Structure 1
Amino acid sequence: MQVEFLPVPEAAHLLRAMPKAFVPSFFCKEAYALAYTEGKVFAGMAHDGNRLHALVYLYEGPRKCFFSPRFLTFGGWEGSARLSLADWQQLLQRTLIFLEGQGAAVWQVACPPDFYPLYTPPAGAWQALSRRVQIVEDLCHYLRVEDRPLRALMSRGQRRYLHMPQRKDWQLHRRAAALTDWQEFYALLCRNRQARNIPLSISYERLCRSVNIAQEALQVFELRDAKGALLAATLALRVHPQVLYYFLPACHPLYYAFSPMVPLLSAMYAYAREAGISYVDLGISSVHGVVNQGLSVFKERMGAMRSIKKTLIISI
Protein backbone atom coordinates (compact mmCIF):
# COMPACT_ATOMS: atom_id res chain seq x y z
CA MET A 1 0.00 0.00 0.00
CA GLN A 2 1.32 3.43 -0.95
CA VAL A 3 1.05 6.34 1.48
CA GLU A 4 1.30 9.89 0.14
CA PHE A 5 0.95 13.32 1.71
CA LEU A 6 0.27 16.11 -0.77
CA PRO A 7 -1.16 19.64 -0.71
CA VAL A 8 -4.86 19.28 -1.50
CA PRO A 9 -4.68 20.86 -4.99
CA GLU A 10 -1.90 18.43 -5.95
CA ALA A 11 -3.83 15.47 -4.52
CA ALA A 12 -6.99 16.25 -6.49
CA HIS A 13 -6.17 13.96 -9.43
CA LEU A 14 -5.75 10.95 -7.10
CA LEU A 15 -8.80 11.77 -5.00
CA ARG A 16 -10.98 12.02 -8.08
CA ALA A 17 -9.53 9.10 -10.03
CA MET A 18 -9.65 6.41 -7.34
CA PRO A 19 -12.90 5.16 -5.80
CA LYS A 20 -12.93 4.88 -2.01
CA ALA A 21 -12.87 1.38 -0.54
CA PHE A 22 -14.82 2.67 2.49
CA VAL A 23 -17.97 4.66 3.24
CA PRO A 24 -16.65 8.17 3.92
CA SER A 25 -17.96 10.84 6.22
CA PHE A 26 -18.94 14.30 5.05
CA PHE A 27 -15.52 15.54 6.17
CA CYS A 28 -13.82 13.38 3.55
CA LYS A 29 -15.26 15.64 0.86
CA GLU A 30 -12.53 17.36 -1.13
CA ALA A 31 -14.73 20.47 -1.29
CA TYR A 32 -14.59 20.82 2.48
CA ALA A 33 -10.78 20.70 2.52
CA LEU A 34 -10.47 23.17 -0.37
CA ALA A 35 -12.76 25.67 1.36
CA TYR A 36 -10.40 26.22 4.29
CA THR A 37 -7.32 27.98 2.99
CA GLU A 38 -6.04 29.64 6.18
CA GLY A 39 -2.67 27.94 6.31
CA LYS A 40 -1.70 24.79 4.46
CA VAL A 41 -4.07 21.85 3.93
CA PHE A 42 -2.68 18.42 3.10
CA ALA A 43 -4.33 15.15 2.09
CA GLY A 44 -2.87 11.92 3.45
CA MET A 45 -3.81 9.02 1.20
CA ALA A 46 -3.24 5.27 1.53
CA HIS A 47 -3.96 3.49 -1.76
CA ASP A 48 -3.00 0.54 -3.89
CA GLY A 49 -2.97 2.48 -7.17
CA ASN A 50 -6.57 1.52 -7.94
CA ARG A 51 -8.57 2.21 -4.80
CA LEU A 52 -8.23 4.61 -1.90
CA HIS A 53 -8.17 2.65 1.38
CA ALA A 54 -7.68 5.47 3.89
CA LEU A 55 -7.75 9.25 3.94
CA VAL A 56 -6.99 12.12 6.30
CA TYR A 57 -6.93 15.89 5.89
CA LEU A 58 -4.37 17.91 7.86
CA TYR A 59 -5.11 21.60 8.40
CA GLU A 60 -2.43 24.01 9.56
CA GLY A 61 -3.56 26.36 12.32
CA PRO A 62 -1.91 28.91 14.60
CA ARG A 63 1.44 28.21 16.26
CA LYS A 64 2.23 25.25 14.01
CA CYS A 65 -0.67 23.21 15.30
CA PHE A 66 -2.26 20.91 12.73
CA PHE A 67 -5.90 19.87 13.03
CA SER A 68 -8.03 17.05 11.65
CA PRO A 69 -10.37 18.72 10.86
CA ARG A 70 -9.82 22.48 11.13
CA PHE A 71 -13.43 23.12 12.18
CA LEU A 72 -16.62 21.10 12.76
CA THR A 73 -17.19 17.85 14.54
CA PHE A 74 -14.58 15.18 13.67
CA GLY A 75 -11.74 14.15 11.39
CA GLY A 76 -8.68 11.92 11.49
CA TRP A 77 -7.87 8.87 9.42
CA GLU A 78 -10.85 7.07 7.91
CA GLY A 79 -10.38 3.81 6.09
CA SER A 80 -11.67 0.43 5.04
CA ALA A 81 -12.23 -2.78 6.96
CA ARG A 82 -9.19 -4.40 5.35
CA LEU A 83 -6.73 -2.26 7.35
CA SER A 84 -5.08 -4.20 10.17
CA LEU A 85 -3.82 -2.77 13.45
CA ALA A 86 -0.31 -2.79 11.96
CA ASP A 87 -1.58 -0.80 8.94
CA TRP A 88 -3.17 1.80 11.19
CA GLN A 89 -0.02 2.07 13.29
CA GLN A 90 2.04 2.60 10.16
CA LEU A 91 -0.32 5.31 8.89
CA LEU A 92 -0.21 7.18 12.19
CA GLN A 93 3.59 6.96 12.43
CA ARG A 94 3.97 8.13 8.82
CA THR A 95 1.65 11.04 9.58
CA LEU A 96 3.77 12.14 12.53
CA ILE A 97 6.97 11.92 10.46
CA PHE A 98 5.35 14.02 7.74
CA LEU A 99 4.10 16.64 10.22
CA GLU A 100 7.51 16.75 11.84
CA GLY A 101 8.92 17.64 8.43
CA GLN A 102 6.41 20.51 8.25
CA GLY A 103 7.73 21.90 11.53
CA ALA A 104 4.53 21.01 13.37
CA ALA A 105 4.42 21.15 17.15
CA VAL A 106 1.06 19.47 17.75
CA TRP A 107 -1.51 17.37 15.87
CA GLN A 108 -5.04 17.64 17.26
CA VAL A 109 -7.52 15.01 16.09
CA ALA A 110 -11.25 15.20 16.78
CA CYS A 111 -12.33 11.54 16.66
CA PRO A 112 -15.89 10.53 15.77
CA PRO A 113 -18.12 9.47 18.67
CA ASP A 114 -17.94 5.79 19.57
CA PHE A 115 -21.26 4.89 17.95
CA TYR A 116 -20.35 6.12 14.44
CA PRO A 117 -20.22 3.33 11.80
CA LEU A 118 -16.76 4.38 10.62
CA TYR A 119 -13.46 2.52 10.33
CA THR A 120 -10.91 4.64 12.21
CA PRO A 121 -7.63 3.79 13.98
CA PRO A 122 -8.36 1.57 17.01
CA ALA A 123 -7.25 2.59 20.49
CA GLY A 124 -4.22 0.31 20.27
CA ALA A 125 -2.87 2.19 17.26
CA TRP A 126 -2.93 5.52 19.11
CA GLN A 127 -1.49 3.99 22.27
CA ALA A 128 1.45 2.60 20.31
CA LEU A 129 2.58 6.05 19.17
CA SER A 130 6.05 6.93 20.37
CA ARG A 131 4.85 10.44 21.25
CA ARG A 132 2.99 12.05 24.12
CA VAL A 133 -0.77 11.71 23.54
CA GLN A 134 -3.24 13.67 25.63
CA ILE A 135 -6.80 12.37 25.44
CA VAL A 136 -9.77 14.63 26.23
CA GLU A 137 -13.04 12.72 26.61
CA ASP A 138 -16.35 14.51 26.17
CA LEU A 139 -19.81 13.16 26.83
CA CYS A 140 -22.04 13.07 23.77
CA HIS A 141 -25.56 11.81 23.14
CA TYR A 142 -27.32 10.15 20.24
CA LEU A 143 -30.69 8.75 19.25
CA ARG A 144 -30.83 5.31 17.69
CA VAL A 145 -33.47 5.60 14.98
CA GLU A 146 -36.12 2.93 15.48
CA ASP A 147 -39.28 1.90 13.67
CA ARG A 148 -41.44 4.02 15.96
CA PRO A 149 -41.84 7.76 16.55
CA LEU A 150 -39.60 9.65 18.93
CA ARG A 151 -42.46 10.22 21.36
CA ALA A 152 -42.22 6.52 22.27
CA LEU A 153 -38.66 7.12 23.54
CA MET A 154 -39.27 10.44 25.30
CA SER A 155 -40.17 11.04 28.91
CA ARG A 156 -43.79 11.91 29.69
CA GLY A 157 -42.76 15.43 30.68
CA GLN A 158 -41.21 16.12 27.28
CA ARG A 159 -44.16 14.73 25.32
CA ARG A 160 -46.43 17.58 26.38
CA TYR A 161 -44.32 20.00 24.33
CA LEU A 162 -44.96 18.08 21.11
CA HIS A 163 -48.41 19.66 20.84
CA MET A 164 -47.21 23.20 21.45
CA PRO A 165 -47.03 24.21 17.75
CA GLN A 166 -50.65 23.15 17.21
CA ARG A 167 -51.84 24.92 20.36
CA LYS A 168 -49.99 28.13 19.48
CA ASP A 169 -50.76 28.03 15.76
CA TRP A 170 -47.07 27.76 14.89
CA GLN A 171 -45.87 26.27 11.63
CA LEU A 172 -43.09 23.67 11.53
CA HIS A 173 -41.08 23.57 8.30
CA ARG A 174 -38.19 21.59 6.90
CA ARG A 175 -36.21 23.55 4.33
CA ALA A 176 -33.32 22.71 2.04
CA ALA A 177 -30.22 24.84 2.56
CA ALA A 178 -30.74 26.63 -0.77
CA LEU A 179 -34.18 27.89 0.35
CA THR A 180 -33.09 29.28 3.72
CA ASP A 181 -32.64 32.91 4.72
CA TRP A 182 -29.28 32.60 6.49
CA GLN A 183 -29.20 36.19 7.71
CA GLU A 184 -32.47 35.58 9.55
CA PHE A 185 -31.19 32.31 10.99
CA TYR A 186 -27.89 33.83 12.08
CA ALA A 187 -29.62 36.79 13.74
CA LEU A 188 -31.71 34.34 15.80
CA LEU A 189 -28.60 32.33 16.65
CA CYS A 190 -26.78 35.47 17.88
CA ARG A 191 -29.74 36.55 19.98
CA ASN A 192 -30.04 33.10 21.51
CA ARG A 193 -26.36 32.89 22.42
CA GLN A 194 -26.26 36.41 23.85
CA ALA A 195 -29.29 35.74 26.06
CA ARG A 196 -27.63 32.57 27.41
CA ASN A 197 -24.21 34.23 27.72
CA ILE A 198 -22.64 31.59 25.46
CA PRO A 199 -19.94 32.72 23.00
CA LEU A 200 -20.74 32.08 19.35
CA SER A 201 -17.84 30.26 17.71
CA ILE A 202 -19.01 30.44 14.09
CA SER A 203 -19.03 33.62 12.02
CA TYR A 204 -21.71 34.42 9.48
CA GLU A 205 -19.14 34.06 6.69
CA ARG A 206 -18.05 30.63 7.87
CA LEU A 207 -21.65 29.51 8.25
CA CYS A 208 -22.36 30.49 4.64
CA ARG A 209 -19.19 28.76 3.48
CA SER A 210 -20.14 25.55 5.29
CA VAL A 211 -23.67 25.70 3.84
CA ASN A 212 -22.23 26.03 0.35
CA ILE A 213 -20.10 22.91 0.90
CA ALA A 214 -22.88 20.85 2.46
CA GLN A 215 -25.59 21.71 -0.09
CA GLU A 216 -28.09 18.81 -0.24
CA ALA A 217 -26.59 17.19 2.90
CA LEU A 218 -27.98 20.05 5.02
CA GLN A 219 -31.59 20.48 6.14
CA VAL A 220 -33.07 23.28 8.26
CA PHE A 221 -35.91 22.67 10.72
CA GLU A 222 -37.76 25.77 11.91
CA LEU A 223 -40.81 26.98 13.82
CA ARG A 224 -42.62 30.16 12.80
CA ASP A 225 -45.58 31.95 14.32
CA ALA A 226 -48.79 32.77 12.43
CA LYS A 227 -47.22 35.97 11.08
CA GLY A 228 -44.12 34.16 9.76
CA ALA A 229 -41.66 35.29 12.44
CA LEU A 230 -38.88 32.80 13.13
CA LEU A 231 -39.18 31.48 16.71
CA ALA A 232 -36.75 28.57 16.72
CA ALA A 233 -34.57 26.64 14.30
CA THR A 234 -31.85 24.02 14.11
CA LEU A 235 -29.69 22.45 11.43
CA ALA A 236 -29.39 18.79 10.46
CA LEU A 237 -26.29 17.75 8.56
CA ARG A 238 -25.93 14.27 7.10
CA VAL A 239 -22.30 13.76 8.12
CA HIS A 240 -22.36 10.08 7.13
CA PRO A 241 -24.89 8.02 5.14
CA GLN A 242 -26.13 6.59 8.47
CA VAL A 243 -25.69 9.64 10.76
CA LEU A 244 -27.65 12.91 10.95
CA TYR A 245 -25.92 15.58 13.04
CA TYR A 246 -28.04 18.06 15.04
CA PHE A 247 -26.30 21.37 15.59
CA LEU A 248 -26.64 25.14 16.04
CA PRO A 249 -30.05 24.97 17.77
CA ALA A 250 -31.44 28.47 18.30
CA CYS A 251 -34.58 29.70 20.04
CA HIS A 252 -35.91 33.21 20.63
CA PRO A 253 -35.46 33.93 24.36
CA LEU A 254 -39.17 34.73 24.79
CA TYR A 255 -40.08 31.14 23.86
CA TYR A 256 -37.70 29.09 26.04
CA ALA A 257 -40.57 28.08 28.34
CA PHE A 258 -42.32 26.30 25.45
CA SER A 259 -39.32 24.02 24.67
CA PRO A 260 -39.53 24.43 20.88
CA MET A 261 -36.55 22.11 20.39
CA VAL A 262 -38.75 19.16 21.41
CA PRO A 263 -41.03 19.31 18.32
CA LEU A 264 -38.07 20.26 16.12
CA LEU A 265 -36.08 17.23 17.28
CA SER A 266 -39.12 15.02 16.81
CA ALA A 267 -39.44 16.26 13.22
CA MET A 268 -35.73 15.66 12.63
CA TYR A 269 -36.03 12.12 13.98
CA ALA A 270 -39.02 11.47 11.68
CA TYR A 271 -36.99 12.75 8.73
CA ALA A 272 -34.14 10.39 9.67
CA ARG A 273 -36.59 7.46 9.71
CA GLU A 274 -37.90 8.36 6.26
CA ALA A 275 -34.37 8.77 4.86
CA GLY A 276 -33.14 5.41 6.20
CA ILE A 277 -30.68 7.02 8.64
CA SER A 278 -29.68 4.93 11.67
CA TYR A 279 -28.50 7.57 14.17
CA VAL A 280 -29.18 11.17 15.12
CA ASP A 281 -26.06 12.67 16.70
CA LEU A 282 -27.13 15.23 19.32
CA GLY A 283 -23.60 16.51 19.79
CA ILE A 284 -21.42 16.90 22.87
CA SER A 285 -22.88 17.62 26.29
CA SER A 286 -19.59 18.70 27.87
CA VAL A 287 -16.73 21.07 27.13
CA HIS A 288 -13.18 19.81 27.75
CA GLY A 289 -14.68 17.01 29.85
CA VAL A 290 -16.86 19.26 32.05
CA VAL A 291 -20.48 18.06 31.69
CA ASN A 292 -23.35 20.48 31.16
CA GLN A 293 -25.84 18.73 33.42
CA GLY A 294 -28.91 20.60 32.17
CA LEU A 295 -28.14 19.82 28.54
CA SER A 296 -27.36 16.20 29.34
CA VAL A 297 -30.64 15.74 31.23
CA PHE A 298 -32.63 17.34 28.37
CA LYS A 299 -31.15 14.96 25.81
CA GLU A 300 -31.71 11.89 27.96
CA ARG A 301 -35.32 12.88 28.55
CA MET A 302 -35.64 12.95 24.76
CA GLY A 303 -34.60 9.28 24.71
CA ALA A 304 -30.92 9.79 23.89
CA MET A 305 -28.14 7.40 24.86
CA ARG A 306 -24.66 8.30 26.07
CA SER A 307 -21.44 7.92 24.13
CA ILE A 308 -17.89 9.22 24.30
CA LYS A 309 -16.17 11.57 21.88
CA LYS A 310 -12.40 11.81 22.15
CA THR A 311 -10.03 14.56 21.10
CA LEU A 312 -6.41 13.51 20.80
CA ILE A 313 -3.64 16.08 21.22
CA ILE A 314 -0.36 14.59 20.03
CA SER A 315 3.00 16.25 20.62
CA ILE A 316 5.17 16.01 17.51
Structure 2
Amino acid sequence: MTNSTMVTEFLLEGFGNVWELRLLNSMIFLLLYLLTLLGNFLIVTATTFDQTLHTPMYFFLRNLSVLDICYISVTIPNACVASLTNNRTISIAGCATQVFLVIYFAIVEIMFLTIMACDRYVAICQPLNYPVIMNYQFCVKMTLTSLISGLIYSGVHTGNTFRLPFCQSNVIHQFFCDIPSLLRLSCSDTFSNEILILVSAIVVCGGCFIFVAISYICIFSTMLKFPTGERRKALSTCVPHIVVVSVFLISIAYVYLKPSVISETIQNIVPSVLYTIVPPLLNPIIYSLRNRQVKEAVKKIVFRKIYSRKL
Protein backbone atom coordinates (compact mmCIF):
# COMPACT_ATOMS: atom_id res chain seq x y z
CA MET A 1 0.00 0.00 0.00
CA THR A 2 2.85 2.40 0.63
CA ASN A 3 3.97 2.19 -3.00
CA SER A 4 0.43 2.40 -4.47
CA THR A 5 -1.14 5.48 -6.00
CA MET A 6 -4.68 6.08 -4.79
CA VAL A 7 -7.22 6.52 -7.58
CA THR A 8 -8.96 9.92 -7.81
CA GLU A 9 -10.82 9.26 -11.09
CA PHE A 10 -11.62 6.37 -13.41
CA LEU A 11 -11.30 5.71 -17.13
CA LEU A 12 -14.24 4.01 -18.84
CA GLU A 13 -13.83 1.66 -21.78
CA GLY A 14 -14.61 3.20 -25.16
CA PHE A 15 -16.32 1.65 -28.17
CA GLY A 16 -13.00 0.93 -29.87
CA ASN A 17 -9.53 2.37 -30.41
CA VAL A 18 -10.04 3.50 -34.01
CA TRP A 19 -12.03 6.70 -34.60
CA GLU A 20 -14.17 5.16 -37.36
CA LEU A 21 -15.07 2.21 -35.13
CA ARG A 22 -15.92 4.49 -32.23
CA LEU A 23 -18.11 6.61 -34.50
CA LEU A 24 -19.95 3.58 -35.89
CA ASN A 25 -20.57 2.01 -32.49
CA SER A 26 -21.63 5.34 -30.99
CA MET A 27 -24.13 5.91 -33.80
CA ILE A 28 -25.56 2.41 -33.32
CA PHE A 29 -25.93 2.91 -29.59
CA LEU A 30 -27.39 6.37 -30.12
CA LEU A 31 -29.94 4.99 -32.59
CA LEU A 32 -30.97 2.29 -30.12
CA TYR A 33 -31.27 4.97 -27.44
CA LEU A 34 -33.51 7.20 -29.57
CA LEU A 35 -35.70 4.25 -30.57
CA THR A 36 -36.05 3.32 -26.91
CA LEU A 37 -37.04 6.86 -25.97
CA LEU A 38 -39.57 7.05 -28.80
CA GLY A 39 -41.19 3.69 -28.06
CA ASN A 40 -41.47 4.25 -24.33
CA PHE A 41 -42.64 7.85 -24.76
CA LEU A 42 -45.47 6.65 -27.02
CA ILE A 43 -46.51 4.10 -24.40
CA VAL A 44 -46.50 6.71 -21.61
CA THR A 45 -48.50 9.15 -23.74
CA ALA A 46 -51.05 6.58 -24.88
CA THR A 47 -51.65 5.06 -21.44
CA THR A 48 -51.92 8.52 -19.86
CA PHE A 49 -54.35 10.25 -22.21
CA ASP A 50 -56.51 7.32 -23.35
CA GLN A 51 -59.16 6.65 -20.70
CA THR A 52 -59.73 3.08 -21.91
CA LEU A 53 -56.15 2.21 -20.91
CA HIS A 54 -56.55 3.28 -17.28
CA THR A 55 -56.37 -0.30 -15.99
CA PRO A 56 -53.88 -2.01 -13.63
CA MET A 57 -52.02 -3.72 -16.49
CA TYR A 58 -51.43 -0.45 -18.34
CA PHE A 59 -50.70 1.34 -15.08
CA PHE A 60 -47.66 -0.91 -14.61
CA LEU A 61 -46.75 -0.67 -18.30
CA ARG A 62 -46.66 3.12 -18.00
CA ASN A 63 -44.49 2.88 -14.89
CA LEU A 64 -42.20 0.43 -16.66
CA SER A 65 -41.84 2.75 -19.66
CA VAL A 66 -40.96 5.74 -17.46
CA LEU A 67 -38.46 3.57 -15.62
CA ASP A 68 -36.90 2.34 -18.88
CA ILE A 69 -36.44 5.90 -20.14
CA CYS A 70 -34.54 6.76 -16.96
CA TYR A 71 -32.67 3.45 -16.91
CA ILE A 72 -31.16 3.68 -20.39
CA SER A 73 -30.44 7.42 -19.98
CA VAL A 74 -27.99 6.69 -17.15
CA THR A 75 -25.48 4.86 -19.35
CA ILE A 76 -25.87 5.37 -23.11
CA PRO A 77 -25.65 9.18 -23.57
CA ASN A 78 -22.53 9.45 -21.40
CA ALA A 79 -20.91 6.45 -23.12
CA CYS A 80 -21.56 7.88 -26.60
CA VAL A 81 -20.20 11.33 -25.71
CA ALA A 82 -17.15 9.83 -24.01
CA SER A 83 -16.40 7.60 -26.99
CA LEU A 84 -16.86 10.34 -29.61
CA THR A 85 -14.76 12.89 -27.73
CA ASN A 86 -12.31 10.24 -26.51
CA ASN A 87 -12.69 11.74 -23.03
CA ARG A 88 -13.29 8.59 -20.98
CA THR A 89 -12.62 10.16 -17.59
CA ILE A 90 -15.26 9.95 -14.87
CA SER A 91 -14.87 11.24 -11.32
CA ILE A 92 -15.36 9.04 -8.26
CA ALA A 93 -18.54 10.97 -7.40
CA GLY A 94 -19.85 10.56 -10.95
CA CYS A 95 -18.99 6.88 -10.91
CA ALA A 96 -20.74 6.38 -7.57
CA THR A 97 -23.83 8.16 -8.89
CA GLN A 98 -23.88 5.97 -11.98
CA VAL A 99 -23.48 2.79 -9.93
CA PHE A 100 -26.31 3.84 -7.62
CA LEU A 101 -28.71 4.69 -10.47
CA VAL A 102 -27.94 1.59 -12.55
CA ILE A 103 -28.55 -0.72 -9.58
CA TYR A 104 -31.62 1.24 -8.52
CA PHE A 105 -33.34 1.14 -11.90
CA ALA A 106 -32.35 -2.50 -12.48
CA ILE A 107 -33.80 -3.66 -9.14
CA VAL A 108 -36.99 -1.64 -9.58
CA GLU A 109 -37.37 -3.08 -13.10
CA ILE A 110 -37.07 -6.62 -11.72
CA MET A 111 -39.77 -5.83 -9.15
CA PHE A 112 -42.04 -4.25 -11.76
CA LEU A 113 -41.68 -7.33 -13.97
CA THR A 114 -42.54 -9.50 -10.98
CA ILE A 115 -45.65 -7.44 -10.21
CA MET A 116 -46.68 -7.72 -13.86
CA ALA A 117 -46.43 -11.52 -13.56
CA CYS A 118 -48.76 -11.27 -10.56
CA ASP A 119 -51.12 -9.14 -12.64
CA ARG A 120 -51.19 -11.79 -15.42
CA TYR A 121 -51.75 -14.53 -12.85
CA VAL A 122 -54.77 -12.82 -11.31
CA ALA A 123 -56.19 -11.85 -14.72
CA ILE A 124 -55.99 -15.41 -16.09
CA CYS A 125 -56.39 -17.62 -13.02
CA GLN A 126 -58.77 -15.48 -10.95
CA PRO A 127 -60.54 -13.21 -13.47
CA LEU A 128 -63.63 -12.66 -11.27
CA ASN A 129 -61.49 -11.34 -8.41
CA TYR A 130 -59.27 -9.21 -10.66
CA PRO A 131 -60.97 -5.83 -9.94
CA VAL A 132 -60.88 -6.53 -6.20
CA ILE A 133 -57.27 -7.74 -5.95
CA MET A 134 -55.65 -5.46 -8.53
CA ASN A 135 -57.30 -2.25 -7.35
CA TYR A 136 -55.78 1.21 -7.60
CA GLN A 137 -54.59 1.27 -3.97
CA PHE A 138 -52.79 -2.04 -4.41
CA CYS A 139 -51.07 -0.83 -7.58
CA VAL A 140 -49.86 2.37 -5.92
CA LYS A 141 -48.65 0.53 -2.81
CA MET A 142 -46.70 -2.02 -4.87
CA THR A 143 -45.14 0.75 -6.95
CA LEU A 144 -44.05 2.70 -3.88
CA THR A 145 -42.74 -0.47 -2.25
CA SER A 146 -40.62 -1.20 -5.33
CA LEU A 147 -39.23 2.34 -5.47
CA ILE A 148 -38.34 2.45 -1.76
CA SER A 149 -36.87 -1.07 -1.77
CA GLY A 150 -34.73 -0.11 -4.76
CA LEU A 151 -33.37 2.92 -2.89
CA ILE A 152 -32.36 0.79 0.10
CA TYR A 153 -30.84 -1.99 -2.03
CA SER A 154 -28.90 0.42 -4.24
CA GLY A 155 -27.73 2.56 -1.33
CA VAL A 156 -26.34 -0.43 0.58
CA HIS A 157 -24.38 -1.82 -2.37
CA THR A 158 -23.08 1.57 -3.55
CA GLY A 159 -21.92 2.55 -0.07
CA ASN A 160 -20.34 -0.86 0.51
CA THR A 161 -18.42 -0.60 -2.76
CA PHE A 162 -17.09 2.94 -2.43
CA ARG A 163 -15.85 2.45 1.10
CA LEU A 164 -13.08 0.36 -0.50
CA PRO A 165 -9.73 1.92 -1.44
CA PHE A 166 -8.86 1.90 -5.15
CA CYS A 167 -5.23 2.02 -6.18
CA GLN A 168 -2.90 1.34 -9.12
CA SER A 169 -5.09 0.74 -12.20
CA ASN A 170 -8.06 3.06 -12.72
CA VAL A 171 -9.29 1.58 -16.03
CA ILE A 172 -12.83 0.18 -15.83
CA HIS A 173 -13.30 -2.47 -18.53
CA GLN A 174 -16.89 -1.45 -19.11
CA PHE A 175 -18.72 1.43 -20.86
CA PHE A 176 -20.25 2.49 -17.53
CA CYS A 177 -19.40 2.11 -13.86
CA ASP A 178 -20.57 -1.16 -12.35
CA ILE A 179 -19.70 -2.97 -9.15
CA PRO A 180 -17.93 -6.08 -10.58
CA SER A 181 -15.53 -3.90 -12.58
CA LEU A 182 -14.81 -1.71 -9.56
CA LEU A 183 -14.15 -4.66 -7.26
CA ARG A 184 -11.38 -5.78 -9.62
CA LEU A 185 -9.67 -2.42 -9.13
CA SER A 186 -9.73 -2.47 -5.35
CA CYS A 187 -6.46 -3.04 -3.50
CA SER A 188 -8.21 -4.48 -0.44
CA ASP A 189 -10.08 -7.67 0.33
CA THR A 190 -13.45 -7.71 -1.47
CA PHE A 191 -14.70 -11.05 -0.12
CA SER A 192 -17.37 -9.45 2.09
CA ASN A 193 -18.62 -7.39 -0.88
CA GLU A 194 -18.89 -10.48 -3.05
CA ILE A 195 -20.75 -12.37 -0.32
CA LEU A 196 -23.19 -9.47 0.08
CA ILE A 197 -23.81 -9.40 -3.69
CA LEU A 198 -24.33 -13.17 -3.76
CA VAL A 199 -26.74 -13.25 -0.81
CA SER A 200 -28.75 -10.21 -1.91
CA ALA A 201 -28.95 -11.50 -5.50
CA ILE A 202 -30.24 -14.88 -4.30
CA VAL A 203 -32.79 -13.27 -1.99
CA VAL A 204 -34.07 -10.50 -4.30
CA CYS A 205 -33.47 -11.73 -7.86
CA GLY A 206 -33.88 -15.40 -6.98
CA GLY A 207 -37.04 -14.66 -5.03
CA CYS A 208 -38.51 -12.68 -7.92
CA PHE A 209 -37.58 -15.42 -10.39
CA ILE A 210 -39.23 -18.12 -8.24
CA PHE A 211 -42.36 -15.99 -7.87
CA VAL A 212 -42.55 -15.42 -11.63
CA ALA A 213 -41.92 -19.13 -12.34
CA ILE A 214 -44.66 -20.26 -9.93
CA SER A 215 -47.05 -17.67 -11.37
CA TYR A 216 -46.53 -18.94 -14.90
CA ILE A 217 -46.78 -22.59 -13.90
CA CYS A 218 -50.23 -21.78 -12.52
CA ILE A 219 -51.04 -19.67 -15.60
CA PHE A 220 -50.07 -22.41 -18.06
CA SER A 221 -51.96 -25.07 -16.13
CA THR A 222 -55.06 -22.85 -16.23
CA MET A 223 -54.61 -22.07 -19.94
CA LEU A 224 -54.78 -25.79 -20.80
CA LYS A 225 -58.49 -25.58 -20.01
CA PHE A 226 -59.03 -22.67 -22.44
CA PRO A 227 -60.30 -23.01 -26.02
CA THR A 228 -57.57 -22.78 -28.66
CA GLY A 229 -58.31 -19.14 -29.58
CA GLU A 230 -58.26 -17.88 -26.01
CA ARG A 231 -55.16 -19.94 -25.25
CA ARG A 232 -53.23 -18.30 -28.09
CA LYS A 233 -54.32 -14.84 -26.93
CA ALA A 234 -53.17 -15.56 -23.38
CA LEU A 235 -49.87 -17.01 -24.61
CA SER A 236 -49.20 -13.90 -26.70
CA THR A 237 -49.22 -11.79 -23.52
CA CYS A 238 -47.28 -14.24 -21.34
CA VAL A 239 -44.42 -15.59 -23.49
CA PRO A 240 -42.83 -12.16 -24.25
CA HIS A 241 -42.86 -11.36 -20.53
CA ILE A 242 -41.09 -14.65 -19.75
CA VAL A 243 -38.45 -13.96 -22.42
CA VAL A 244 -37.66 -10.47 -21.09
CA VAL A 245 -37.53 -11.62 -17.46
CA SER A 246 -35.24 -14.55 -18.37
CA VAL A 247 -32.80 -12.46 -20.45
CA PHE A 248 -32.76 -9.72 -17.82
CA LEU A 249 -32.09 -11.98 -14.84
CA ILE A 250 -29.64 -14.32 -16.62
CA SER A 251 -27.49 -11.42 -17.90
CA ILE A 252 -27.48 -9.75 -14.48
CA ALA A 253 -26.57 -13.03 -12.80
CA TYR A 254 -23.72 -13.57 -15.26
CA VAL A 255 -22.28 -10.07 -14.69
CA TYR A 256 -22.64 -9.89 -10.91
CA LEU A 257 -22.12 -13.51 -9.85
CA LYS A 258 -19.20 -14.60 -12.04
CA PRO A 259 -15.76 -14.78 -10.37
CA SER A 260 -13.99 -11.43 -9.93
CA VAL A 261 -11.17 -12.00 -12.42
CA ILE A 262 -9.84 -9.94 -15.27
CA SER A 263 -11.52 -10.93 -18.52
CA GLU A 264 -11.76 -9.63 -22.06
CA THR A 265 -13.62 -6.35 -22.44
CA ILE A 266 -16.08 -7.83 -24.94
CA GLN A 267 -17.02 -10.50 -22.37
CA ASN A 268 -17.90 -7.74 -19.91
CA ILE A 269 -19.75 -5.45 -22.32
CA VAL A 270 -22.05 -7.91 -24.13
CA PRO A 271 -23.90 -9.18 -21.01
CA SER A 272 -24.17 -5.61 -19.74
CA VAL A 273 -25.83 -4.57 -23.00
CA LEU A 274 -28.35 -7.38 -22.50
CA TYR A 275 -29.61 -5.99 -19.20
CA THR A 276 -29.09 -2.23 -19.69
CA ILE A 277 -30.17 -1.69 -23.31
CA VAL A 278 -32.16 -4.67 -24.62
CA PRO A 279 -35.04 -4.72 -22.07
CA PRO A 280 -35.83 -0.96 -22.33
CA LEU A 281 -35.70 -1.27 -26.14
CA LEU A 282 -37.88 -4.38 -26.41
CA ASN A 283 -40.41 -3.69 -23.66
CA PRO A 284 -42.52 -1.23 -25.72
CA ILE A 285 -42.52 -3.61 -28.69
CA ILE A 286 -43.40 -6.88 -27.01
CA TYR A 287 -45.68 -5.52 -24.28
CA SER A 288 -47.58 -2.69 -25.86
CA LEU A 289 -46.97 -1.86 -29.51
CA ARG A 290 -48.17 -5.37 -30.42
CA ASN A 291 -51.34 -4.71 -28.42
CA ARG A 292 -54.34 -3.61 -30.48
CA GLN A 293 -55.67 -1.21 -27.82
CA VAL A 294 -52.33 0.55 -27.44
CA LYS A 295 -51.82 0.84 -31.20
CA GLU A 296 -55.26 2.41 -31.59
CA ALA A 297 -54.53 4.83 -28.74
CA VAL A 298 -51.21 5.83 -30.33
CA LYS A 299 -52.91 6.39 -33.71
CA LYS A 300 -55.54 8.61 -32.06
CA ILE A 301 -52.88 10.74 -30.40
CA VAL A 302 -50.78 11.06 -33.57
CA PHE A 303 -53.78 11.94 -35.76
CA ARG A 304 -55.00 14.41 -33.15
CA LYS A 305 -51.63 16.20 -33.19
CA ILE A 306 -51.59 16.29 -36.99
CA TYR A 307 -55.16 17.56 -37.15
CA SER A 308 -54.54 20.28 -34.53
CA ARG A 309 -51.48 21.53 -36.44
CA LYS A 310 -53.47 21.79 -39.68
CA LEU A 311 -56.08 23.88 -37.90
TM-score, normalising length: structure 1: 0.23
Higher relative contact order (CA 8 A, sep 6+): 2
Which structure has the greater CA radius of gyration? 2
TM-score, normalising length: structure 2: 0.23
Q: Relative to total residues, which structure has the larger strand share, 1 or 2? A: 1
Q: Relative to total residues, which structure has the larger helix share, 1 or 2? A: 2
